[in-house]
Amino acid sequence: MKKIVGILAVIVLVGSGTWFSCDFQKTGPEEMDSIVVAYSPFESTALFWIAEDRHFFEKNGIGISLREYDSGAASLDGVVNGEADITVGVSEFPLVRKAFQNANISAIGNIDKGGFIYLVARRDRGITNISDLKGKRVGTTIGTVAEFHLGGLLTLHGMTLQDITLVDVKTPAGWVNAVADGDIDAISTAQPYADSARDRLGANAVVLLAQGSQPVFALIVSTDDWIRDHPDIAARLLTSLAQAEEYSHTHPVESRAIVQNRLNLDAGYMDTVWQQNQFSLSLDQSLITAMEGEARWMIANNLTNATTIPDFHDYISTESLSSVKPASVNIIGIQ
């Protein structure tokens, strides 16, 4: 099992240990530690934007440079390829795929559990329920959690990916336009793009929840080398996100406004989607359970040459979060 060892910053815990004060704050810009953060513009990254808006990163001595990607999977590729130090908000499924490739990466935290993957289909293509997808051209971004939930939806209705023509749609514009323009018959995608596709189709739209009871996680992931070499920065980054979580609890209206403005989201959409997310900094056993299920699905659908499930404890590093918010770490088999 990979072990990440480093001297972590000192956190003074208060009360139950959930929240804290810290002595990370620096005074001069010359003392700032700069990192490049990869992200994709989904509301699951809410705590990151709150921390940015409230200057928590700056107050904890971190200067942030941003690299935007269309999907969380692409942002993780950016980290693996050395384009960014860390990615924020990537779902667990791309990490499962990387684990099958023995990538040297680990999640150091999770900032959201959400339910926002939908299937939007064209009624004029004879689709009114899931069984009608058989033989149809169905789009999603291959390698993302939307692909996994599409596969799970098909399995639930006695089908597999082999029963449809799977079309790889890679861009936000494509997630909306491909189905609206009729290039595909249906799309499995995340909000807010599902709503945008629905609005384009109007009465011709059939919208179905693709995601079951399993939430989509929003992970903070970096390479093992970066985590090992920068334990103090990792702890200060998580401290900033923990402060953002506290702010979201004490200032819910302001927090929603920050995320809405930063991601240019519609107010009505925010009313709906805000309730579909649990914005909290954590690492718990449900993450391992979800990743194991996704790994089994990949093996069963011949999406990997592997025949055994990776040990996902090897792809989670709890040291930094344990130093910042110890009560939020609850993974069996990791001390």
Question: φ, ψ for residue 172 (rounded to 5)?
Answer: -55, -40
Q: Which residues contact 16 (CB under 8 A, 6 or more apart)?
A: 327
User: Which pLDDT score is estimated for 24?
Assistant: 46
DSSP reduced 3-state for 188 = strand
Which residue in 50, 217, 206 sits closest to 144, CA to CA? 217
Q: Which domains does the chain have, with CATH numbers?
A: 11-114+215-330 (3.40.190.10), 117-209 (3.40.190.10)
The CA distance from 107 to 222, in Å, is 7
Which residue in 129, 256, 135 sits closest to 184, CA to CA? 135
Which residue in 220, 276, 282 sits closest to 85, CA to CA? 220
User: Which pLDDT score is estimated for 212?
Assistant: 81
Task: Enter the pTM of the model.
Answer: 0.85
Q: What is the largest CA-CA distance in the chain?
A: 63
Pairing of strands 283-284, 216-223: unpaired
- Could you tell me the mean pLDDT of each successive run of 10 residues in the chain, 335 residues long? 40 39 46 95 95 98 97 96 98 96 98 94 96 97 92 93 95 96 96 93 96 92 98 98 98 95 89 87 97 94 94 97 96 73
User: Which pLDDT score is estimated for 30?
Assistant: 56
Tokens of 142: 């291959």
User: Which pLDDT score is estimated for 13?
Assistant: 35
The CA distance from 114 to 215, in Å, is 5
User: Which pLDDT score is estimated for 4?
Assistant: 39
User: Which pLDDT score is estimated for 174?
Assistant: 95
Query: Within the chain, where are the H helices?
Result: 46-53, 56-59, 72-80, 92-100, 145-156, 172-180, 193-201, 224-229, 231-250, 252-263, 267-273, 285-300, 319-324
Instruction: Using alpha carbons only, give the angle 98, 103, 106 rounded to the nearest 5 degrees.
Output: 85
User: Which pLDDT score is estimated for 23?
Assistant: 45
User: Which pLDDT score is estimated for 186?
Assistant: 98
The CA distance from 143 to 323, in Å, is 32
The CA distance from 149 to 154, in Å, is 9
Tokens of 186: 């249906």
DSSP reduced 3-state for 272 = helix
Burial of 70 (0-12, 13-18, 19+ CB in 10 A): middle
